[in-house]
Copies of this chain bind each other. A is one copy, B any other.
């Protein structure tokens, strides 16, 4: 049997139900003017014919596809797979679906955007990827709202939703200082990404405010992945003459996990006794028993809601907002990879588990 054989249309249903095609259309359009009796007749006929409205055809006239593009550059980081899941769920509740566009981590997503435009999506969410201003304006021109999730493009008029990464970096710095560290190391991620840059900047700034010299802050770049950080961590200790740091800031949790495993299982270091470690994101994986990672929690649900709010999918006539970029504050979550300074009464991850805005769904 060849494909596309018996796909019935609204005309078929109309004929069977003894009404016009318009009536069928209205029967499936909430809020349109149709008698309940007629609607039932239509439903009955539709059921017999296994009719399902063709939303592709309808979007030709309504100019709405109920599809949102999600451009994602790093599915290997669980943070982003949680983000993807959350977006998909929330959008689905609104009767929309997510169309995935994968790009190489850190790569330009200009080409992806071209494909996105072809699909006439109602909105674009871009995360863990770069984008040229030319592309954002192409979206703007055709009235497609675009929001950068967890990054921003300097000088662009594209809206972005992100955690206050610089402030988060400062929180980590303070935690290390409070715990008495004097010598620091960082494992950074994509050097082109604003996220990594900002976290590093805040971290270094805060340390320098307290008189730490730049030469006491070792920086190692790595691929933004578990494996990248694993190797980078080993690199820090390769130089024998370099004074050993007491505190390691990994630019995100998955990298912190990679670093911790390298330190423990390859170098035999104890954490936090020999070396304290902090991450960033507060992914559920970092809360697990082997890691108990001290980190900065990204308020992911809040960020997602803000993203959807800026996207403003329900009101397409309203026009595109001018570039919005209001960083949302993250919070330091104390666990076990930095010794809690005596006398301090910081909140811990456990205490607030109940009211946490975590990455877990629902």
Contacts and interface: CB of A to CB of B under 8 A. Distances in A.
A118 to B, nearest CB: 4
Interface stretch (A135-143, A174-182, A241-249): A135-143
Contacts of A67: 99, 119
A99 B97 contact: yes
B54 A317 contact: no
A5 B101 CA distance: 25
Q: How many monomers of this chain does the complex have?
A: 2
Interface in A23-66: 50, 52-57, 59-60, 63, 65
Interface in A294-340: 316-320
A153 interface: no
A223 interface: no
A101 B88 CA distance: 7
A240 interface: no
A21 interface: no
A342 interface: no
A316 B94 CA distance: 31
Interface stretch (A78-86, A161-169, A188-196): A78-86
A345 interface: no
A56 B75 CA distance: 27
A78 B1 CA distance: 38
Contact of A100 (B100, B141, B264, B319): B100
A317 B50 contact: no
A102 B59 CA distance: 22
Interface string A241-270: 000000000000000000001101110000
Given A92-B101, A316-B4, A120 B290 contact: no
A4 B143 contact: yes
A317 B57 contact: no
Contacts of A262: 289
A215 interface: no
A56 to B, nearest CB: 5
Given A56-B59, A84-B75, A320 B99 contact: no
A355 interface: no
Contact of A115 (B97, B120, B361): B97
29 contacts: A1-B319, A1-B320, A2-B143, A2-B317, A3-B317, A3-B320, A4-B142, A4-B316, A5-B142, A50-B141, A55-B118, A55-B120, A56-B59, A56-B65, A56-B119, A67-B119, A75-B84, A76-B85, A84-B100, A85-B102, A88-B102, A89-B102, A92-B102, A97-B100, A97-B115, A97-B119, A99-B99, A261-B289, A290-B290
